[in-house]
Amino acid sequence: MNNTTAKKPVKIKTVNRTAPKKRRRSVGLDKKKARSGWIFVAPFVIGLLIIYIPIIVNSILYSFGEIKVLTGGGFKLTMVGFKNYNEALAGNPDFVRTLVSGIKELLLDIPAIVIFSLFMAVLLNQKMWGRAVFRAIFFVPVILCTGLIGQIDSTNVLTSYMSDTTSSIDTGAGTDAVTQVVSATDIQWMFNSMKVGTGITQYVVKLMNGIYDIINRSGVQMLIFLAGLQSISPAIYESCDIDGASAWEAFWKITIPMVSPMILVNAIYTIIDALTSSSNSVMMFISNIYSGTNGHELSAAMSWVYFLIVIVIIAAVAGLLSLFVFYQRRD
C-alpha cells in the first residue's frame, strides 16, 4: 500500500517532463519548436529593450547627476559623482535611521505573514461548513484593499471610533487605546508565566494589534499556499493515516515538507511585496524626498541604496530557506 501510494505522484510528474519526448522526436524539430518560443516572449523582450532598460539606466544616471530644468522645457543632466549618495547616507540625518528601523520592522513582519497565511490556507483547505463563504471573505482584501483604498483605510479615524464600544457614552471621543484587539496586559500576563522575555511579548502584542494589516497583506500568499496544498496527493495522507499518524504528525511530516517550495516562494514574494509597497516607512520617506527640492536625484540615489539592501536580504533569505526546501521530484 505504502509503496504504491508513494510512487503515484512521481508518475504524474514524469508525464509532464519533456525528457521522454526527445526519444520520439528528431532533434531538428525540437530545436525549431524551442526557437518559436521567442515569438511568445517577444513582447517582454521588446519592452525590456525599449522601455525597461532605458528606465533603469536613466535612473542610475540620475542618481549620479544633477538635473537642471531648462526654461524652454526639458532638462540638462550634469554628472556629479557620488554626491547624491553622500548626501543620502551622510548628509541627511533621517535616512539611515528610517532605513534601519523600517527594514527591521519589515523583517519582523515577514515570518508572521508567512506563518499566518500558511495556517489560514491549511484551515481553509479543510472540509467544513461555510468554507466557500470564508474563502470568499478572506480574499476580499487582495482585491479591495490595495492602493487608494488602503490609503483611505489607513487614515480612517472612524474605524477606531466605531469599533470602540467600551468608552463611556458621555465623552464620546474615540480613543484608539481601547480598540486594540487584545490588551498588552493580557499577553504580558500570559507570557510572564512562560518566562520568555519582554522582546517577544512586545512582538506578539504588536502582531495581534496589527492583525488587520497582516491579513491584508497575506492574501496572495494564502492563494499560493492553497494551490500548494491542493497539489498534495490525498493518497499520501491516507497511507499516513493507515500507518497510525495523527493529524498533527501528518502536518509536520507531510504538509510542511510538501509545501516547503511554496514557503520559499511566499517568503520571497512577501519580502518583495513588503519592501516595495508604498505604505512602508522607507518608501514614504523616499517619496517625501522626491517631492522636495532637488528631490529627483536624491530620491533616485536613496532608492538604489534601498534596492541593494533589498537584493541582499532576498538573496540571504532565499539561500537560507533553500537549504530546508524539499522537492518531491528529483530523479
Partner 1 sequence: MNIQETNAPKVKKETKNKIRVEFDRTSFWKRFRLKYISWNFLGTVIWKIARFLLLLGISYVILMPFFTKISSSFMSADDFVDATVKLIPKYPTLATYKAIIRDNGYWTALINSTILSLMCAVIQTLICAMIGYGFAKFKFKGNKILFAFVILTMIVPHRTVQFSMFMQFSFFDIGNLLKIFTGKGIIEMITGSSVKLINTFWPLALLSLTGLGFKNGLFIFMMRQYFRGVPDELEESAYLDGYGVVKTFVKIIIPLSVPMMITVFLFAFSWQWTDNFYTTIFFTTMGPKLLPTIVKIPSSLDTSVASNMFNAAVNNASAMLIIAPLIIIYLFCQRYLIQGIERSGIVG
Given the complex with partner 1, which of 196 and 242 has the nearer CB atom? Answer: 242
Site stretch for partner 1 (CB under 8 A), options 83-91, 104-112, 151-159, 198-206: 151-159
Q: Is residue 248 close enough to count as binding partner 1 by CB under 8 A?
A: no
Q: Is residue 86 close enough to count as binding partner 1 by CB under 8 A?
A: no
Site stretch for partner 1 (CB under 8 A), options 44-52, 89-97, 101-109, 196-204: 44-52
State how far the Cα of 264 lies from the Cα of 323, in Å rounded to an integer.
10
The conformation of residue 318, written as its DSSP 8-state character, comes to H
Site stretch for partner 1 (CB under 8 A), options 78-86, 101-109, 197-205, 263-271: 263-271
Q: Is residue 153 close enough to count as binding partner 1 by CB under 8 A?
A: yes
Determine the length of the chain. Answer: 331
Given the complex with partner 1, which of 173 and 195 has the nearer CB atom? Answer: 173
Torsion over CA of 111, 114, 118 and 120, rounded to 10 degrees?
100
Binding to partner 1, residues 296-315 (CB under 8 A): 296, 299-300, 303-304, 306-307, 310-311, 314
The owner of cell 472540509 is 127
Report residue 74: phi and psi, to 5°. 85, 180
Q: Is residue 162 close enough to count as binding partner 1 by CB under 8 A?
A: yes
Q: Is residue 285 close enough to count as binding partner 1 by CB under 8 A?
A: no
For the record, the C-alpha cell of 266 comes out as 511566499
For the record, the C-alpha cell of 210 comes out as 496589527
Given the complex with partner 1, which of 62 and 201 has the nearer CB atom? Answer: 62
Smallest gap from residue 203 Cβ to partner 1 (A): 19
For the record, the C-alpha cell of 192 comes out as 510572564
Q: Is residue 18 close enough to count as binding partner 1 by CB under 8 A?
A: yes
The conformation of residue 49, written as its DSSP 8-state character, comes to I
The conformation of residue 179, written as its DSSP 8-state character, comes to G
Q: Which amino acid is at 246?
A: S
Q: Is residue 57 close enough to count as binding partner 1 by CB under 8 A?
A: yes
Smallest gap from residue 198 Cβ to partner 1 (A): 26
Report residue 166: phi and psi, to 5°. -90, -25
User: What burial class does residue 9 get, using C-beta atoms within 10 Å of its C-beta: 0-12 exposed, 13-18 middle, 19+ buried?
Assistant: middle
Which residue in the set 70, 71, 78, 129 belongs to the binding site for partner 1 (CB under 8 A)?
129
Given the complex with partner 1, which of 75 and 82 has the nearer CB atom? Answer: 75
Residue 97, classed as helix, strand or coil, is helix
Site stretch for partner 1 (CB under 8 A), options 79-87, 102-110, 167-175, 186-194: 167-175
State how far the Cα of 26 lies from the Cα of 21, in Å rounded to an integer.
10
Q: Is residue 211 close enough to count as binding partner 1 by CB under 8 A?
A: yes
Given the complex with partner 1, which of 161 and 191 has the nearer CB atom? Answer: 161
